[in-house]
Structure formats: structure tokens, C-alpha cells
Structure 1
């Protein structure tokens, strides 16, 4: 007889939309499973960026989690009620005059 119980399902919010995930799953895994690959824009050239190294070194997976910008989604684990925000909106442009 196995003593392992099935993973607990939790509710998360991704860019304002409700979603489901397994408790303890990495935030990156939840985003990719939801079909969200680009997570932010490069602040220098505006290119879309997504998870790369998977271990918190490259910083390409940074998102805002529960209001904390700069959270590394590959090392963060989902909890019930977590609010996840990606940063793929266009960057503001400087006024040219």
C-alpha cells in the first residue's frame, strides 16, 4: 500500500486570469503548461525573453509574484492564492524631440 497522496491542486492568478496548479510546482512549469513562454521583455532592446537555465542564474524568467518584482519563476514554487504577473507588455518609449 502506498502512503503517497495525490498532489494538492491550488488556485493561482496568472496576469489577472484564474488558473489551477499543483502545490509546490515551479512557477515556470505552471506558466509553460498554461501556454505562456515569454515572461518578460529585455529592458535594453525590448525582445521577449523566457526561461533559459531553469536554476535561477540567467534571470530570464523574472516575473512579479504577489507584488514582488524580480522573482525568479524557476526557483519559486506555487502556493494557493499566488498572484503571478509576467512582463511582456511593450516597453515605454522615450520622447524624441
Structure 2
């Protein structure tokens, strides 16, 4: 489903996705890191519990909401990874910071 393009080697950063450490290129968005890790879903809807994940990759659909460094409702597709970032999936109703 998701396959990175062949490019020159890029500097990597270490992030944590749902507690698991991952090394990803520093130019990735959080959504790209999620997809590359094989995690297609990053949240569950509050009514049906249906899985949602990165869809539009440009900030329009809001299906890629995650918690980043303890701040909920962050758009994974619009957030660039950074060293030490902690990303957590969200479930149910949106939480306010």
C-alpha cells in the first residue's frame, strides 16, 4: 500500500509510535511514518469504533488525528516528525488538551 521512493540516504530521527521505537527519515510526516510502519489505522471513531487512518495526506479529511507528545487531535499528515516524538493512536471521542 505505501512504498517509499528510492532516494538518497536521509538523516533519521527516533520516534515512538504507540510505545514502539522507530527510526524514520527526518523529512517524513507522522502519517508517512505510521504508514511505513504498517499501521494503517491511527484512530477509532466514537460511534462505531471503525478504524480510520491517513487518507488525503494534505490536511483536509481529519482522519489521521493522533495524540503527539500528550496533545490530542493532531493531524498526522500535517506534522513533521522530530527526534523523541511520542505518537499515540486515539480511540473514541476527541479529547480536549
Is structure 2 residue 52 aligned with structure 1 residue 49? yes
Size of the aligned set, in residue pairs, is 86
TM-score (normalised: structure 1): 0.81
Query: What does the per-residue CA deviation read over 1:27-86, in whole Å, with 9 as the maximum and x for residues that have no partner?
Result: 111011000001100112211111111111111000001111000000100001010111
CA distance in 2, matches of 1:37, 1:72: 15
Q: Name the SS for the 1:74 alignment partner.
A: helix
TM-score (normalised: structure 2): 0.81
Q: Larger C-alpha radius of gyration, 1 or 2? A: 1
RMSD of aligned Cα (Å): 1.7
> Which residue of structure 2 aligns with residue 38 of structure 1?
41
CA distance in 2, matches of 1:6, 1:32: 19
For structure 2, the residue ranges without an aligned partner over 5 or more in a row are 1-7, 93-97
